[in-house]
Amino acid sequence: MKNTGLRIAWIVPNVFLYLTALGLLSFIIVFADGLLEINRFVIYVILFVLLLFINLICSFRIASWIKQGKM
């Protein structure tokens, strides 16, 4: 395994971003009624989708770097 420290430095924050997305999703589900009342539901859903999209891009980038031998 090459650059174990570098892999950890990229993978650990990526895992935390997935946990953040999971927490945001649970927040949206729990407080959906209140968010709908104050017209913020759509904003939070868009925020969740963007966060998940960024996480997926980062995961694919990390996987491609590992396959290429950069990490």
pLDDT band (50, 70, 90) for residue 1: low
Map residue 69 onto helix, strand or coil: coil
pLDDT-derived band at 28 (thresholds 50, 70, 90) equals: very high
Average pLDDT over residues 5-34: 95
More confidently predicted of 43 and 3 = 43
Average pLDDT over every residue of 25-45: 97
DSSP 24-47: HHHHHHHTHHHHHHTT-HHHHHHH
Distance CA(5)–CA(35), nearest Å, equals: 41
pLDDT at 33: 96
71, 65 in Cβ contact below 8 A?
yes
